[in-house]
Structure 1
Amino acid sequence: MRTASHLQTLPPVLPGLALSAAVAWAAMHLGDVAWLQEHGFSALTVAIVLGIVLGNTLYPRIAAPCGDGVRFSKQTLLRAGIILYGFRLTLQDISHVGLAGVAIDAAMLLSTFGLAWLAGVKLLKLDRDAALLIGAGSSICGAAAVMATEPVLRARSEQVTVAVSTVVIFGSLAIFLYPLLYTLQSEPAWGARLPDFGIYIGSTVHEVAQVLAAARSIDQHTADTAVITKMVRVMMLAPFLLMLSMKAGPSSSGQRGKLSIPWFAFAFIGVVVFNSVMPLPAAVAQLVLQADTLLLAMAMAALGLTTHLSAIRNAGMKPMILGAILFAWLVIGGALVNGALGRLLA
């Protein structure tokens, strides 16, 4: 195709970066539309929706030349955006999450991963590595946890693809479900308001990007709390992988893998500490935050571009059933855990 051949003459990451930036720019402008704001569509949510539409229509035609840049946006720019997000927060903000947030994160991680083992291996008779990868993605930090767990288990590439597909599908659904739950939680059918909805989002939604998109659709305070809670959960990935390498044993090939530590989570905390001790001048801070919004919107656009509806069909029924079971636990069980521990440890 003529367009694809022209794109192939550019530096490898440039076409995909340009595409992600274009979608992000459109989303940031659409995010300012009052009607969309009133219906819970932030710039990040719009970026994902636009990305999904393009990802299942026009993007496959230029995926080859754009792939490197889109992957760079989805991975590297997302981590850079999360690190810069630390300039929005201080240690005082983190203290608001407190012991309750840490305890809820740990409870959701252990219970979700344990359920993945029981439901996946014992009930659905899935391959052990496939079930553990889906469990890691659902219980910790989505596709990043799947990719970090893969070298520990020495899992097959098709198992990784299936696990990531479940994370993308149910995590994307969470982006639209949680703002709706927020509006419904004060209704009699819900029973009572959760102690902190930001902690609920951060402790139960799959991806960092999905946490941001869902929480920013509610308000800034919820987004800040959700991101802090989520980053605490992400930092639990390192001890989780260490324990998994000791407990899970070698893979079917008889080999043990290596650990992958989410260093960007620690960099995020470092930026928060820096911002607490030496805040940036107002003008510089404004520029940094604008750049951060652009980076995050580009990451959301890239996530949408690589979300293919065919993944539902390709993943098969059993992995999708396991993903649905874990998603139901994250939403319903997560609300129960947040309500109980949130009030107990407040």
Structure 2
Amino acid sequence: MPTYIVLPIITLLAIALAKIEQVSAFGLSALPLAIVFGMLYGHFSLRVEDKREQQFSTFCKQKLLRLGIILFGFGLSFQQILAVGWQAVVVDLVVIGTVFSVGTFVGIKVLKLHRDVAILIAAGSAICGAAAILATESVLKPKQEQVTIAIATVVLFGTLAMFSYPFIYQWVDMSEQSFGIYIGSTAHEVAQAVAAGQSINDETMQTAVVVKLIRVMMLAPFILMLSSVLCHLSNRNDSRIASTANGCASSRIDNKAQREKSVIIIPWFVFGFMATAMINSVVILPESLKAVLSFASQFSLAMAMAALGAQTQWASIKKAGPKPLILALILFIMLICGGFFLNSWLI
């Protein structure tokens, strides 16, 4: 069966399963389900893609991915920030900055992971799971297996965190709203924030979702800042190379080529994401239209995940070893424990 038929089927199946109560109770959204089904298909399928199918897979991983993130903005609004107060915004900012900084440092300097793997895992843990990893991928341009490894680790520990919140709630002295802020500021995925909050009560769930969506909104400035920082680091490395060059023609050509690569990669879809969130903040959209846009966003992102999974080799994931899991575990502990003390102090 051609890829352009299989991937939509996988996507619809993942979306349908995510709506089943028993599945959603585990905090599994359509995105991680789509990548798992895609990986299973890619592993067991003996079909060799022709040029047309390869182009379709590339279209899903690039164009549909960006479209999905842009449409995702229609589910957010700036009024949601006002509803929970400035403290929740501060908590989200501190969580994102701390988790991402520690994650990249420990991953690269201590665990000696590939830079892209460390950044992807740190971004997914700090912001919004698989969606953040896919958005960060547009700046890093990593290998497919590196993206899949990052998503797998974030989904694993995000699910573990989701089951930890109800247990923690029994032993702490926090109000339902405060605990909702704690969940929203530390949960990996939006679906996991919903499931964890719902296990307490509706008020906790609503607060958790709003705070989590504020973290999602911070994805746009994060991607722009990351692109700028990576460009600065690349330019600095190029300057060092140029200072040690012996002045021969070949060296000048190599340095010129490196400088051409050292430009800020502007992910234009981020501005689309910000624009749709702004539209949703100032225009009251019909609920039926918002439902259509939400489905279109979910379908586009799930298609991108399915295409990514279908072209990922299991051997590449096994080759990565335990270090990505160790990094994700460290960030999981930071989110659960460090996030709790941060919320206790500020909220």
TM range (shorter): 0.7 to 0.9
Aligned to 1:340: 341
Q: Deviations over 1:179-212 (max 9, x none)?
A: 3334443355x998574222213xxx4xxxxx35
CA offset digits 1:282-321 (Å, max 9, x no partner): 3322322232332233233334323432222343x4xx52
The answer (yes or no) to whether the contact 2:78–2:278 under 8 Å persists in 1 is: yes
Partner of residue 12, structure 1: none
Aligned CA-pair RMSD: 3.3
Match of 1:290 among 287, 295, 319: 295
Q: Counterpart of 1:134?
A: 117
1:101 maps to 2:92? yes
In structure 2, the partner of 1:328 is 329
- Select 2:221's aligned residue among 226, 235, 247: 235
The Cα of 1:175 is off from its aligned counterpart by 5.2
Letter in 1 for 2:278: V
Q: From 31, 39, 42, give the equivalent of 1:55.
A: 42
Identify which range, 18-27 or 218-227, moves more after superposition.
Answer: 218-227
Q: Choose from 257, 260, 271 the match for 1:266.
A: 271
Match of 1:79 among 35, 57, 66: 66
C-alpha contact 1:91 1:272 (8 A) present in aligned 2: yes
Match of 2:139 among 145, 148, 153: 148
Q: Which residue identity is paired with 1:75?
A: Q
User: Aligned partners of 2:288, 2:338: CA distance in 1, in Å?
Assistant: 41
Aligned residue number for residue 300 of structure 1: 305
**Closer, same or farther in 2 for the Cα pair 1:147/1:294, shift >3 Å?**
closer
The residue that corresponds to 1:154 in the other structure is none
Aligned with 1:80: secondary structure?
helix
Q: In the aligned structure 2, how far is the partner of 1:339 from the partner of 1:212?
A: 18
Task: Give the secondary structure class of the aligned counterpart of 2:47.
Answer: helix
User: Which of 78, 92, 98 lines up with 1:91 in the alignment?
Assistant: 78
What do residues 262-297 of structure 1 show as CA deviations (whole Å, max 9, x unaligned)? Answer: 332332222111111112123322322232332233
Count of aligned positions: 303
**Contact 2:145–2:317 under 8 Å retained in 1:** no
2:61 aligned with 1:70: no
Contact between 1:51 and 1:305, CA under 8 Å: does it hold in 2? Answer: yes
Map of 2:237 onto structure 1: 250
1:103 CA drift (Å)? 2.0
**TM superposition shift of 1:247:** 4.4
> Match for 1:333: what amino acid?
M
Greater radius of gyration (CA): 2
What code does the residue aligned with 2:103 have?
T
| Aligned position for 1:197 | 183
CA distance in 2, matches of 1:300, 1:331: 23
SS at match of 1:260: coil
Shift of 1:327: 0.8
Report the identity percentage: 23
Tell me the secondary structure at the aligned position of residue 237 of structure 2: coil
1:30 pairs with 2:21: no
Asked if the contact 1:74–1:302 (Cα under 8 Å) also holds between the matched residues in 2, the reply is yes
Secondary structure of residue in 2 paired with 1:142: helix
Is the contact between residue 120 and residue 150 of structure 2 (CA under 8 Å) also seen in structure 1? yes
Task: Provide the C-alpha distance between the structure 1 equivalents of 2:193 and 2:58, rounded to a whole number of angstroms.
Answer: 24
User: 1:311 and 1:51, CA in 2 relative to 1: closer, same or farther beyond 3 A?
Assistant: same
CA drift at 1:229: 0.8
Name the aligned partner's letter for residue 301 of structure 1.
A
> Conserved in 2, the CA contact under 8 Å of 1:44 and 1:213?
no
Q: SS of 2:65's equivalent? A: helix
1:88 Cα deviation from its structure 2 partner: 1.9
Say whether the 8 Å CA contact 2:66–2:269 is kept in structure 1: yes
Structure 2 gap ranges (5+): 124-131, 199-204, 242-253
Q: Distance in 1 between matches of 2:170 and 2:145?
A: 37
Please list, as runs of the form range in 1=range in 2, the aligned pairs for 1:164-179 lying within 5 A after superposition.
164-174=147-157, 176-179=159-162
Matched AA of 1:281: P
Conserved? CA contact 1:138–1:327, under 8 Å: yes
